[in-house]
Structure 1
């Protein structure tokens, strides 16, 4: 069987501003995860995310956002702290390196994680429980990630 679907690789600096535009117009966008910073629960080139519009009150600790951080890079990481308009972001697979972003620099918020073709709405019990415990386990994340990487 021949697959007529053609895949195109578009650089993030081209693709993600267009994603931000679509989200600002009220659309949702499904993206394939690229990179390992959201391991172990979102895996490079295997899992997908649905990113969409948000309100400022949605940008709370635990939310996963697509944002331009203070050095200009676009990242898809979890909010670990909010102080007024300033956000501190950290990838689930990262141990210490955080990014700073302003609320105005957020392009979209994760609405659904699609892991191994199973959908996990971010408002659902499973994803909420995962988020809660992963953030609580921050002090031992180093060992948990080491185990995951060896599996």
Structure 2
């Protein structure tokens, strides 16, 4: 198998163009900002041009002013601008203009299974986890303790 190295900005730029045509595009996750919902180099997102009004909890793909492409979740919309955060983050980014958002994530492949709106984990992260931004650090630390204890017991 031939392996090719491609510049991320160029690659995502091509995918962006395909999504803006209304087609669904898939991309493997790189980075850990959407953990615990999505894992680096394991999970995939499927995205396309938004066909509806964007709302709190939606996962969107946008381009920062410095040119970097990012996929995070909408925390809130205020005065026509969006404030966005990754599932592993507590720092809110914004304002992000609507023109910077070029795609809506419509489903994911998580741990080999397709999840989309209506599935338990999709709904949990979209409606509950997004509201827990201020307490994410202690919740994650508590989860880590229980996970380690479980490993010891088993």
TM-score tier (shorter): 0.7 to 0.9
Aligned-residue RMSD, C-alpha: 1.9
- Residues 149 and 14 of structure 1: is their aligned pair in 2 closer, same or farther, counting only changes over 3 Å? farther
What is the aligned partner in structure 2 of residue 49 from structure 1? 45
CA contact (8 A) 1:61 1:80 kept: yes
| d(CA) in 2 for partners of 1:27, 1:146 | 39
TM-score, normalised by the number of residues in structure 1: 0.85
Do residues 83 (structure 1) and 60 (structure 2) align?
A: no
Alpha-carbon shift at residue 131 of structure 1 (Å): 1.7
- Residues 86 and 115 of structure 1: is their aligned pair in 2 closer, same or farther, counting only changes over 3 Å? same
Q: Look up the SS of the partner of 1:137 in the other structure.
A: helix
- Residues 66 and 36 of structure 1: is their aligned pair in 2 closer, same or farther, counting only changes over 3 Å? same
Show CA shifts across 1:18-70 (max 9, x none). 1110011111111100001001110000111111121351x111100110124
Q: Look up the SS of the partner of 1:114 in the other structure.
A: strand
Q: Which runs of 5+ in 2 are unaligned?
A: 148-154
Give the ranges of 4+ consecutive aligned residues of structure 1 lying more than 4 Å apart after TM superposition: 147-151
Match of 1:23 among 4, 12, 19: 19
| d(CA) in 2 for partners of 1:99, 1:149 | 29
CA contact (8 A) 2:90 2:134 kept: no
| d(CA) in 2 for partners of 1:99, 1:35 | 20
